[in-house]
Amino acid sequence: MSNESTAANNKSKPGQLQQDSVPVKSVTVINKEKEDAVQRGSKVPPPEGDLEGTAVGSYHHGRGAQFNTKNRFLKNESTREHIEGIDDWEESNIPTQYIEQQSKTIVNKIESKDVGMSYSMNPYAGCEHGCIYCYARNVHEYWGYSAGLDFEQKIIIKKNAPQLLRKFLMHPKWDATPIMLSGNTDCYQPAEQKFRLTRGLLEVCNEFNQPVGILTKNSWILKDKDVLQDMAKKGIVSAMVSITSFNEDLRRIMEPRTTTAKQKLKVINELSSAGVRMGVMMGPMIPGLNEHEMQRIMKAAADNGATFTAYTFIRLNGAIKFLFHDWLFKNFPNHADKVWHLIEQSHDGQVNDTRFGVRMRGEGHIAQMVAQQYKKYGKLYNMNAEEWSLNTNIFKRPGEQGKLF
């Protein structure tokens, strides 16, 4: 099933700050201070730091980010700096580029103490889904690109991912610890329709009986129902579908190339009916935008067969705070200040947070209210009631007997 949401259906936006009728010239802004907030339509000044790449007035439909932030690792970058340039120009919306490469590794150890898995693998770097809040944007800077539009437009394809996984699992010291598929970027983003690397990874895991957890917000996962069903019979797979809102106007601008909430519920229903243990991820919850939808999301997911849940609270680390600020004030000029201040109130006066145990949940009365809702409705809809874990006891390498515990 192909992704329903494309650039073509991203026309309506809450706030209607931008107009589609005439082309608007854009200009890059570098190291501007509070006076630029007026041009950006903001009462709250932009976050301190480099706002390089900010497009004044233009809007890229079908993209979450609206400009390229500065890459903190690059010393030399070519930029457009002045609005009074000799030549007129228009900001172009570059088609998605797939950059194929032969990678050296595919499985990564997760050092974070507040993530549910110890290892992850990601066949793609960058993500065309374009979720404006995505923490993985910052990682794209390590590849030499921007966390902004580059993250959505320049997708790195790890062509040899299945072969690398096979080599990794053949190591005699590997102990079948569960691996998270999509720990960083979505393994079922549009690139999967062409390259099918996620399918290849699942087939290797099924062969080895390697347990896997999956997180996605794309209905393309249904294309792999056959292998997922086979893995589910052995207890070596579980999957979560991310649902942040049932408001389609919000979804189309906040995570523009994901599938609809209706389709996500269909994924949960169809895979749970096929025997796959399904859950729903509600993340991030953003005060003033979608936190009030938590009950509705949990009930709908439970009605369609989900048995477990998780959620995160919005945090805007690194370049994401610049991208989100620009997005917020362009799309919601009437209450952007309120949303921004609510996020600050939930992270000790900041919008970013790196503290383990706090960063994913927030603090203060707003974050506590969200946590209380999560606990109350999770109990009401019988979520997370069962004790369940992925089966690590049947892992075997080709030519070997299964593990005997």
For residue 309, tell me if it sits in a domain: yes
Per-residue pLDDT reduced to its tens digit, 41-98 = 446 667 765 444 444 457 899 999 999 999 988 877 654 444 444 454 454 668 999 9
Q: Measure the CA–CA gap between 225 and 232, rounded to whole angstroms.
A: 10
For residue 397, tell me if it sits in a domain: no
Residues 6 or more apart whose CB falls under 8 angstroms from that of 330 comprise 15, 17, 18, 40, 41, 59, 66
Per-residue pLDDT reduced to its tens digit, 11-37 = 333 333 332 322 222 323 333 333 344
Q: Which residues of the chain have pLDDT under 70?
A: 1-45, 48-57, 77-93, 116, 401-405
Question: Helices H, strands E: what count in the chain?
Answer: 12, 10
Q: Measure the CA–CA gap between 41 and 51, rounded to whole angstroms.
A: 15
For residue 396, tell me if it sits in a domain: no
For residue 366, tell me if it sits in a domain: yes
CATH number at residue 102: 3.20.20.70
For residue 405, tell me if it sits in a domain: no
* pLDDT at residue number 404: 47
For residue 392, tell me if it sits in a domain: no
Q: What pTM was computed for the model? A: 0.84
For residue 398, tell me if it sits in a domain: no
Q: Measure the CA–CA gap between 55 and 65, rounded to whole angstroms.
A: 10
For residue 399, tell me if it sits in a domain: no
* pLDDT at residue number 21: 27
* pLDDT at residue number 77: 63
Length of the chain: 405
Query: How many domains is the chain built from?
Result: 1
Select from 237, 56, 65, 72 the least CA-distant residue to 139. 72
The boundaries of the domain holding residue 153 are: 7-380
Structure tokens belonging to residue 158: 């790890």
The residue type found at 100 is E
